[in-house]
Amino acid sequence: MKYSILFLALFFSMSTGNAQYKWCVSMLGKTKLKNVEENREGNMVMVTTAELNKPGWFEIKFNKYDTEVRRTVFVNDASGSSMQNWEEVKKNWRISTEALKKLFDKGEELSFFFTEIPRDINKAMVIKVRPLHLCTVKRSEK
């Protein structure tokens, strides 16, 4: 009886500990989204033209980095065509405001996603990879 309760407690703690990623999104050092999870409707970041014209960074900080996987961040425009990707993303990822401004040339909205693939080729061949939505960035004129 003791072993079954201990096993269930261990299983529950392991499954909830690895269940969700969390990340923070910041622009020019100001936090825009904090400890967010995947939520396409809720993870919206408004960026003004004035912010895009200032020198600085748009940054996404992941709460953890697993060395056993290869993380890739990519961005889509409103049409859904992948525009750019960054491989081997560690715990922090950032892009300059100047580069972000160039990405906005195709529209007023950018969606950021990430995927993780195990480094072990045998594991990578049997898993299904689904891109996770990090945030959607919209440009405003204010």
Kindly report the CATH number assigned to the domain that includes residue 127.
2.60.40
In a domain, 4, yes or no: no
In a domain, 6, yes or no: no
Give the per-residue pLDDT at 1: 52
In a domain, 83, yes or no: yes
In a domain, 7, yes or no: no
In a domain, 42, yes or no: yes
The residue ranges of the chain whose pLDDT is under 70 are 1-20, 79, 142
In a domain, 91, yes or no: yes
The domain in which residue 45 lies consists of: 21-140
In a domain, 10, yes or no: no
**With contact defined as beta carbons under 8 Å apart, do 134 and 22 qualify?**
no
The total number of structural domains in the chain stands at 1
